[in-house]
Chains A and B, each alone.
Chain A
Amino acid sequence: MVHKPRNSLLTVGVNKYSRSQVVAKRVLYKRKPAGAVAVCPPAVNKTVEVKGAKNGGTRVVAAAKAPRFYAAEDVALPKKNRKHAGVAKLRNTIVPGTVLILLAGRYRGKRVVFLKQLESGLLLVSGPFKVNGVPLKRVNQAYVIATSTKVELDAAKIDAQLNDAYFARPKAAKKAATEEAFFE
């Protein structure tokens, strides 16, 4: 929650309030955290049933198994990336029905009709196929010139099924690691 700054600069390197004073300003002693649920610490041990008549029936075992292998040297893991590019803003000259010129790709130079912008920011575009052979395809806004020519389009007619998932590559079925597959 954005709050007016609790501290201010007197001069370079010198703040008006000390670290503990700033913390006190948060008045934590009066507040209760909103989602305060008693969190049970994860179980360290668990009891497991053991087979065999003379083995005592159950055994207490560590809940998480220790790894079998420890690397000789500690290798630093790369930090997780927290930055994600936002969705490109649609140019105000591009409106459903605008004729666009494709600048790159197999259909470079073709004039094409803009249908709508998809959630990923890519533009859904079509020849139409019968007119110039350009199928329904996605195109990046940067690789397109918008012309001033516009075509009448019914916004309702663009099927809602045409989204990024529609264009996703079908995942290849994983082959089971069988002996025959190994020797193919």
Chain B
Amino acid sequence: LYAKGRVLGFKRAKRNQRPDISLVQIEGVKTAADTEFYLGKRVAFVYRAKREVNGSKIRCIWGRITRAHGGSGAVKARFRNNLPAKSFGASVRVMMYPS
């Protein structure tokens, strides 16, 4: 019950990057007009770690989609904690809520 997305990288200019906001490409979303549905939706970056925390080796960083990025359907997302740079190219779950 989520749309698949990919982390493209941090918000950046040519030589400086701002890691507090990540860029996400949502599958199937090709124009900025299409992104309107996804604004405000919650995003989850799910990853595995070696150490167990609260009974699970799977961890999650939650965030929200804040605005469109460019004209081709990419989107800016702000996470509770910044995404690690290791996440570039990794999948991200774009939930359908808040509806």
Contacts and interface: CB of A to CB of B under 8 A. Distances in A.
A104 B98 CA distance: 10
A160 to B, nearest CB: 28
A108 B97 CA distance: 11
A63 interface: no
Interface in B25-52: none
Please provide the 6 A-B residue pairs with the shortest distance between their CB atoms, ordered closest to farther: A142-B98, A103-B97, A143-B97, A103-B96, A108-B1, A109-B1
B61 interface: no
A99 interface: no
Interface of B: 1, 95-99
Contact of B95 (A104, A109, A141): A104
Nearest to B2: A103
A145 B98 CA distance: 10
Contacts of A122: none
Contacts of A103: 1, 95-97, 99
A109 B95 CA distance: 12
A63 B85 CA distance: 66
B contact patch SS: loop
Q: Which of B95, B96, B97, B99 neighbours the largest number of chain A CB atoms within 10 Å of its CB?
A: B99
A142 B1 contact: no
Contacts of A109: 1
Contacts of A141: 99
A144 interface: yes
Interface in A89-137: 103-104, 108-109
A32 to B, nearest CB: 51
Interface in A26-48: none
Interface in A143-163: 143-145
B99 A143 contact: yes
B33 to A, nearest CB: 21
Contacts of A145: 96, 99
Interface in A46-81: none
Nearest to B42: A104
A144 B98 CA distance: 8
Contacts of A142: 97-99
A144 B96 CA distance: 9
